[in-house]
Amino acid sequence: MNKKKLSLTSQIFIGLLLGLVLGVAVHYWLPDGYFKNTILINGIFQLFGTGFMRLMQMLVVPLVFFSIVTGAMSIGDTKRLGKVGLKTLGLYIVTTALAIVISLSFSQLTNPGVGLNLSQVKTAETEIATASQKGMDMVLEIIPKNPIESLSSGNMLQIIFFALFLGVILASLGNHVPVITRFMNEANEVMMSMTFHVMKIAPIGVFALIAKTFSDIGFDGFLPMLKYMLTVLGGLGIQLFLVYGLLLFIFTKTNPLVFFKQFSSVLGFAFSTASSGATVPVNIQTLEDMGVSKKISSFTIPLGATINMDGTAIMQGVAVIFVAQAFGIHLDLADFMTVIGTATMASIGTAAVPGVGLITLAMVFNSVGLPVEGIGIIMGIDRVLDMARTAVNCSGDAVVTTIVAHQEKLFNKDKLYQAKPDNDDDDYDNLDNVEI
Contact 350, 118 (CB under 8 A): no
Provide mean pLDDT across the span 134-145: 71
Q: Angle 382-407/357-367 helices, nearest 10 degrees?
A: 90
**What percent of the chain lies above the pLDDT cut of 70?**
80
Mean pLDDT of all residues in 19-30: 87
Residue 299, Cα to own-chain centre: how many angstroms?
16
Note if the pTM is more than 0.75: no
What pLDDT is recorded for position 338? 82
In a domain, 2, yes or no: no
209 in Cβ contact with 19 (< 8 Å): yes
- Encode pLDDT of 286-298 as tens digits: 999 999 998 888 8
Q: At what angle do helices 357-367 and 333-347 cross, to 10 degrees?
A: 150
**Is 388 a domain residue?**
yes
Whether residue 428 is contained in a domain is answered as yes
Q: What is the reported pLDDT for 123?
A: 45
Segment 241-262, tens digit of pLDDT: 999 999 999 999 999 999 999 9
Residue 14 has pLDDT above 90, yes or no: no
pLDDT, mean of residues 50-76: 79
**C-alpha dihedral (336, 338, 344, 345), degrees to nearest 10:** -170
The 10s digit of each residue's pLDDT in 211-225 is 887 787 666 656 667
Whether 415 maps to a domain, the answer reads yes
Q: Identify the CA nearest to 373 among candidates 132, 113, 131, 119.
A: 119
Q: What sign has the CA pseudo-torsion 323, 325, 328, 332?
A: positive
Asked whether residue 364 is assigned to any structural domain, the reply reads yes
Across 266-294, average pLDDT = 84
| Residue 347 pLDDT | 65
> Does the residue 286 lie in any domain?
yes
The model's pLDDT over 388-436, given as tens digits with 9 standing for 90+, comes to 888 999 999 999 999 999 999 999 988 888 745 444 444 444 433 433 3
How high does pLDDT run on average in the chain?
Answer: 79
- Please indicate, yes or no, if residue 386 is contained in any of the structural domains: yes
Q: What is the DSSP string of 308-339?
A: --HHHHHHHHHHHHHHHHHTT----HHHHHHH
Full domain range(s) for residue 205? 8-433
User: Rounded CA gap, 315 and 382, in Å?
Assistant: 9
pLDDT value for 272 = 74
Residue 344 inside a domain? The answer is: yes
Residue 377: the pLDDT is 66
Residue 43 has pLDDT above 80, yes or no: yes
- Model pLDDT, residue 339: 83
pLDDT computed for residue 396 by the predictor: 94
For the beta carbon of residue 283, count every other beta carbon within 10 angstroms.
27
What mean pLDDT is predicted for residues 228-234?
Answer: 92
Q: What phi and psi, each to the nearest 5 degrees, are found at residue 319? A: -60, -35
End-to-end CA distance of the chain: 34
- The CATH number given to whatever domain includes residue 403 is 1.10.3860.10
Tell me how far apart the alpha carbons of residues 8 and 14 are, in angstroms, rounded to a whole number: 10
**What local confidence, expressed as pLDDT, does residue 234 receive?**
94
pLDDT of residue 239: 95
- The per-residue pLDDT for range 301-357, each reduced to its tens digit, is 888 887 788 888 898 889 889 888 888 888 888 888 888 877 776 666 555 545 456
Our count of domains for the chain comes to 1
Q: How many helices (H) and strands (E) does the chain have?
A: 20, 0
* pLDDT above 50: residue 129: no
| 121 against 191, higher pLDDT | 191
